[in-house]
Amino acid sequence: MARLAALLLPLAALACACKKEPPPAGATPPVAYGATAAAADPARLPAAGEAPPPVEVGGRLAAMWTTPIQTLAGQPTTLDAYAGKALLVVNVASKCGLTPQYTALEALQKKYGPRGFTVVGFPCNQFGGQEPGTAEQIQEFCSTTYGVTFPMMEKLDVNGDGRHPIYQELVTIPDASGHSGDIRWNFEKFVIAADRATVTRFSPRTPPDDPSLIAAVEAALPR
């Protein structure tokens, strides 16, 4: 019996050591991010390449900054709330083949956010009905799957008669290929300089970790 007790004592000690204390009352439970969220590592971003020439806009987009919008949580705001920051404005969707671009968008946010930059996501359901969810469903998906920390706005239209005023301004900007006008698909991107003087437009298929886009972000940062 003594020998059995000697064998059981270390096991009992191990069980006590592994026992986790319950969280204090009222504590916020940790978020269990999906595996893809762990890939949003800024250290994995490549070095900046060569950015396409930005488009000089001067004060042409002035009305866009004060146009009322709502966050995904329903709070009123404007793009002017991000004055002094470089922006990457992007129309997003949860059920698109390009949805994994959220990973690199979040990596950009983590790397350049402290230097005066933010991604601003606008959910849109106009391309294949690939953003059908409610605001709550979109928020849950972005948070738990991709660990998104950048601001997400209300769902809106980027094309057609109901095109949101912000996109009425942005679609006038051509990309490096000369395309202007309608947004082509989910995840079309506009890098707006912190001084608001220039915009660089990228097609949906240019990923956020493309060296040319990274170069545009670095050039847009506040000086």
Considering 16, 96, 124, 142, which one is annotated as catalytic?
A: 96
Task: Write out the DSSP string of 103-147.
Answer: HHHHHHHHHHGGGTEEEEEEE---STT---S-HHHHHHHHHHHH-
| Residue 96 annotated in active site | yes
Contact 72, 64 (CB under 8 A): no
- What is the rounded radius of gyration, in angstroms, for the C-alpha atoms of the chain? 22
Give Cα 217 distance to the centre of its chain: 14
Q: What type of residue sits at position 2? A: A
Element housing 10 (H / E):
helix 2-18
Maximum CA extent, the chain:
88
Cα 64 from Cα 99, distance rounded (Å): 26
Task: Point out the residues that are catalytic.
Answer: 96
